[in-house]
Amino acid sequence: MRMIYKIFLFLLFLTSSLFAEKFESFVKYKVGYGVFTLGEASAYLTISDNGSYKTEISAKAKGLASVFSRERTEKYISEGKVFEGRLVPYRFEKQTSYGGKKRHIEFFWDYDNKQIMMEKEECKSGNCEYSSEILPSERYAKDDILTLYHNVMFDLNKTSAKEINASAIGSKKPVVIMLPEKEWLKTAKKIFDDKEGTYIVAILNQEIFTSDKGELYVNVDSDNTASKAVLKKTMLFGDVWGERIEKKISKEQNRTAW
């Protein structure tokens, strides 16, 4: 079930919209495989007058998936500033709960010294343990899992690149995000029945069920929100899919033009 939440994250924050002086969005998705629904996730993104942002995602399994995952729920929060069209995180938080266990992890950026402080609290049966550390330099990253895809899409739109390798706090391995061409594009068009919009392919570089790399295809609408995604070659019963079921977006005068 943990990888299903990573798919939620990609769907919910794969946007390349123009940020406004005031911006608010709410998007909700359901995720499943074959004819089965696994769960739902909701995401909020707000940007204030002073350019600070806050994003929050909450996801939970439903039905039998909830039973198998021991009623697993996850919440992710990222806070920071919008600078020249990019999301720059100052704090990233992850909360996980399942089967009587709880984990709360926070990351804090020190950009001057290129360091990240991690604080962790893990609880089981009411007993909690706390720890903190400065991450080793090889784990330093400018993005968290919530800002990664927006900033990569920003770079793809700003440059002529068709493919970018990226890493983030909250993701164990780097991902590859591309604007598909040739066979990749042909596959994307087949998956989405030639639906209008922008096609994105993400190679998650993780074994997911029977998929050795995790090939995630995403269709992005003209309003720059992901409408549907399909994770190929994952299960005997069919592909894992995600579909948008609700969205609300409001914005005022644009701050940054891409």
pLDDT tens-digit map of 145-183: 888 878 887 888 788 788 888 888 987 778 888 889 999
DSSP letter for 66, please.
Answer: H
Helix (H), strand (E) at residue 67:
helix 64-68
Which residue carries 């499943």 as its tokens? 32
Q: How much is the average pLDDT of 84-112? A: 92
* 116 phi, psi to nearest 5 deg: -130, 125
232: exposed, middle or buried (Cβ count in 10 Å: 0-12, 13-18, 19+): middle
**What share of the chain has pLDDT > 90, as a percent?**
27
Q: What is the pLDDT of residue 234?
A: 55
Does 184 or 34 have the greater pLDDT score? 184
Point out the least confidently predicted range of 36-40, 52-56, 163-167: 36-40
Q: Which SS3 state, helix, strand or coil, does residue 38 take?
A: strand
Task: Indicate yes or no: pTM above 0.75.
Answer: yes
Q: Which amino acid is at 117?
A: M
Average pLDDT of the segment spanning 238-256: 74
